[in-house]
Each structure stands twice: as C-alpha cells, then as structure tokens.
Structure 1
Amino acid sequence: MPVKLLRVGAPGEERPAVLAGDGRVLDLSGLTGDIDGAFLASGGVERAREALERRELPELDASGLRVGAPVARPGKVVCIGLNYRDHAAETGAEPPKRPVVFMKDPHCVVGPDDTVLVPRGSTRTDWEVELAVVIGRKARYLESEDDALAAIAGYAVSHDVSEREFQLDFSPQWDLGKSCETFNPLGPWLVTPDEAGDPQDLRLTLAVNGERRQDGTTADMIFPVAELVLYLSRFMVLYPGDVINTGTPAGVSLGKPDVPFLRAGDTVELEISGLGRQRQTLAQA
C-alpha cells in the first residue's frame, strides 16, 4: 500500500501522521515520536504501512493545523545545480559533465506553507521548484542504480530558494545564497516510491503571484535520480533522513532579466505531480 507521511502542528511540536487514501489524516504517534532519520532507518515506513492496512491508526483532526516539513531534522541537504538542460541553457551555462554538488544548511528546512523571509540586504531572491529525494537507509559506496533506488525512502516537493547576489557575487561557493533562514520549504508529504511512480516522469510547476514561471518535467534531468544517489554515495555517506534537492527546470528569474526577483508580499505556489502543493508568502527578515 502506498504511503504519504506528514507532520502537523506548530514548529517544534509537530505530530507524525499519514494521509489516508480517502483524505483523512491518521495519527502515527502510537508508532513513533517523529518522522526522522531514526524512524526511517528502523523500518518505520513499513510499520506505518502495515498499521494503515490493518486500520489501526486513529484519525487526527488536522483542520487548521500547520503542516510541517515531512522529515524532521535532516542531517544534511545536498543540492544539485544545473541539472536540467533547459535551466542550464537559460543561465548560459554548459551542461555539466559531472553533477554540480553543493550543500544547504539543514536548519533552513521549513514547512511547505511557512513564511519565506527575504534576507536583509537582498536584491535578488529567486525561486526554484525541485524534486527532493529522502534517503531511507545508509548509502555508502553503492554498486548499482538499483541499489541507489532501494536506498530512497520517498520523494517530496522542495523549494530551493536562492539569493543570487549572495550566491554568485559574494563568494566563489554558492552556500551564502542558499542557506538563508527559511530557504528550503519541504513537503507537504513524504511520498513512498510506489506511490510517486517513475521519478523521471514527474511534472514540476511554479507560479509567482498567480503567473506561471516554471513548467518542466523530471525527464529533462541531465543526471537522473538513481545516478545522483549512486554518484553521491561515492563521495559522502548518505544517512536516513538526508535530503537531496535534484535541480530545477527553466524559468527562474536569474535566467529572465525582464522578470523581477521576489519581494516581501509576493506569493509563490509550487506543485509536483502526485507529491502535493506548496504556497508561501514572503516577508522581510
């Protein structure tokens, strides 16, 4: 049975839950204190699946409750730059021969509808809808793409918010423009691979103030999901709960000089087919 995991409640007080096929939110508190690396590593997804199949989970009244990031306290957020052919083209970059890898501070992960803060001094805050991969088992020197796919707990919508001046002008590395507070809304759900389907056949869209800015497909990735997980496992140990942001399609403000960057008061809406939607309103930090 496919599973969609989520966490609901105020920041720091989220309760683990699962979304049933009929739309009800069911409480996982009897199985686990949270949806985190320890839960994923210990077979928590399978326990949740079994409890769901046996109809053992009580319903949780989630009306009016905030939805948090579906994974608590990721150990690291690994990001892949320029991983869509059309995005590389719009930025004037050559398609990379190897994955472009950078890190994002995991503390900037927030809920899918939480406020995103425009950093002080920012003039070029930008948007990026991305497919997030969540690791479900320790991955170290994997031997095949099948092994890589087996290490994945699920997928989620990720918003890799970026400040381009900080990213490109202030340092030869990208971290300054990627790790500002609230710069990685995640969720609403962690969707198991059997529910998500082919990770290379998902549509990604993003709108700013109701105007469509991005509309792409994961089929346009230069380095597919399985190849990315396999590649990363050769250079770092991936642990349960780690998040991989796999890149963004064309349509970012960086690639369109006539399209303004984000400002306080703007609203961004993101969606990936089968993985849910996000909606954030920006405010000044």
Structure 2
Amino acid sequence: MRLALFDDNRLGVVTGDALVDVTHALPWPHDPDPLLAGWWRRLCRDFAELAPALRAAADAGPELPLESVLLGAPVLAPTKIIASASNYQAHVDEMHAVQHRTLGQVESWMMNFDIFLKAPSSIVGPQGPIVLPRPVLDEGSEIHHESELVVVIGAGGKDIAVEDALDHVLGYTIGLDITVRSAADRSRRKSYDTFSPLGPWLTTGDEAGDPADFDIRLTCNGELRQAVNTAALITPVPQIIAYASRMMTLNPGDVIFTGAPPGVGPILPGDTLDTSISRLGTMRMAVEAERTAVSG
C-alpha cells in the first residue's frame, strides 16, 4: 500500500496517478495539526490492524488525480530523525577528496559507519522547495545533495534484534539529506529547515519488498550524479535498526536515513533535483536561495 499525506494532512492511498482519501476509515478523530500527530503515530504502530479497513476504503473510491492535491511529507512530527553516516564504501572513498577541498584535511573519524540525529523541523514535502540559507551561501560553503533510502518505523522498540528488525518497519520513502560541507557538527550542518525532503509517499514494507534491493538514482539539472543499489550498504537496514535501538528507543513514526550513496555534489539556487528509488516512486525538488538573511 502507498500511503500519502495531502492537503490538510489527510490520509490517502495512492493508486496509479490518483489517490483515494481514506481519512474517514480511521477509527478515531482526525486532527490536522502536525504538532498533535498522535493519530499518525498510532497508525504507524497499529497499521496491521487498520490495513483491511484502509484497503476497503481505497477500493471504494472515489479517486482524486494526484495533480489536484498538495502532497506533503509522508510522515508527521516524528520524535526523531536518525541518519546513517559513511554507509557506502564508494561514498567513503569520495569523501577524502571532498573533505580536502572543503575542510583542508580529512577527518578520519567521519569515515566510519555511525548514526546521528537531524532536527525533525528540517522535513519538507515532495513539492518543496529546498531553501539554501543565505549566510551559508554568503560564506561560500558548499551545500550538497545526498539521495537516500528512508525507513519509517511502525511498531517501535528498544534493543531490537537484527532478525526481528524488519517487523518494526512500517515502510519506505525517498529522502534527501541536504548537507553543508563545513567543520560544524553533523546535526547542525544537516538540520536547516527544508534539509530533509521526503516523498512522494510511503510504500509499506509488504509492497516495497527487500530493502537490500532498491535502485537509487539522482540527477541535477538532468545530469546523472548518483546511481546505486542498496545491496552496497555497508550496514544493511536490519542492522541499522538494531544498532540504533540499542542507544535509543525507536518510536512509531520515527524516520531513519540509511546513508548517502556515492556521487554527492554541490547544489545551487535554480537547480532542479530529480531523485527516484525503484518500487517507491520519484520526486522532483527545486532549489532556492533564502530570500532574506536572519539578523542577530
């Protein structure tokens, strides 16, 4: 099933080039306030129980053309965004040159797999745009795209076993981990507003299939920059989930970026990013400059 959030944070099931509003099939009142997103986290936790009613509502229609609705990010107010660092060997290799250019040296500790946190307020939906901060542009720091497979947690947990990890996944979506290349902490460099685009919808695990066999592609202004299969992940999805859950409880609706493939590169105002993941969809994002600098 492909779940979309659209218009006033209503719930839709995507069918081809259309969606069906299934909000009425939820067994509790719908609150559109994204900061009071308990209904969404409850859906993530209890999806197996809700799925039959949602499928029946989707089959009953009516369909709304996708171009007639405003798609939002297919998550609401996650308690955290967990991101994976240094999880494709070819990306680790290319980062030596990137860090020499942007930092003047290689930070060896950053070449090892680990996880870090991004601000949930950095999430933006598939209709964007990505807004590049004026102070960062003025100082001349590079800002890069990183197209990634993103996991959305269903039933949460602590100390999750690797063999049980995929049972804790609601589904998958496309993500961009937008990154300032500077000496600042990872979480700071990656947490600006709009630096976590997600979309266009969430594909549940039963429909998406094996997370170790997704093809990821990204073009910038039509130029192919990233192309990889998730089979190349150093730390596969089940191991990421198990590792993260040893340090922090994973809550329903939490978001996990699985790591940047090779081919990262700078983006500038006016650019257009097209990213796709097999079986999950495609997403086009415009890049803009912040219009006014923040004082103080």
- Out of 83, 89, 101, the position equivalent to 1:79 is 83
The alpha carbon displacement at 1:44 in A equals 3.4
Say what the alpha-carbon RMSD is for the aligned residues.
2.0
Matches of 2:17 and 2:270, distance apart in 1: 31
Q: Does 1:101 align with 2:115?
A: yes
- Out of 244, 247, 256, the position equivalent to 2:259 is 247
Matches of 2:168 and 2:251, distance apart in 1: 9
TM superposition score normalised by structure 1: 0.87
Give 2:94's aligned residue. 90
SS of 1:223 mapped into structure 2: coil
SS of 1:186 mapped into structure 2: strand
Q: Which amino acid aligns with 1:268?
A: L
TM superposition score normalised by structure 2: 0.84
Matches of 1:51 and 1:276, distance apart in 2: 21
SS of 1:263 mapped into structure 2: coil
SS of 1:83 mapped into structure 2: coil
Structure 1 contact 99–228 (Cα < 8 Å) conserved: no
Q: How many residues align structurally?
A: 265
Which is richer in helix? 2
- Out of 248, 265, 268, the position equivalent to 1:263 is 268
Matches of 1:202 and 1:96, distance apart in 2: 25
The alpha carbon displacement at 1:138 in A equals 1.7
- Out of 202, 224, 232, the position equivalent to 1:190 is 202
The alpha carbon displacement at 1:62 in A equals 4.1
The alpha carbon displacement at 1:176 in A equals 1.6
Matches of 1:18 and 1:160, distance apart in 2: 26
Structure 2: runs of 5 or more not aligned: 33-38, 97-105, 291-296
Q: Does 1:25 align with 2:19?
A: yes
- Out of 122, 125, 128, the position equivalent to 1:114 is 128
Alignment of 1:100-249 (within 5 A): 100-122=114-136, 123-142=141-160, 144-165=161-182, 169=183, 171=184, 173-249=185-261
The alpha carbon displacement at 1:75 in A equals 1.2
The alpha carbon displacement at 1:57 in A equals 4.7
Structure 1: runs of 5 or more not aligned: 254-260
Q: Which amino acid aligns with 2:267?
A: L
Percent of pairs identical after alignment?
35
Give 2:36's aligned residue. none
Matches of 1:62 and 1:203, distance apart in 2: 24
Give 1:256's aligned residue. none
Q: Which amino acid aligns with 1:127?
A: H
Give 1:63's aligned residue. 67
Matches of 1:268 and 1:233, distance apart in 2: 32
SS of 2:200 mapped into structure 1: coil
SS of 1:265 mapped into structure 2: coil
Counterparts in 2 of 1:64 and 1:58: CA distance versus 1, 3 Å: closer
Matches of 1:95 and 1:49, distance apart in 2: 47
**Deviation readout 1:60-98 (Å, 9 max, x if unpaired):** 354332211111111110000110111011113779896
The alpha carbon displacement at 1:15 in A equals 1.5
Q: Which amino acid aligns with 1:130?
A: E
- Out of 10, 16, 19, the position equivalent to 1:15 is 10
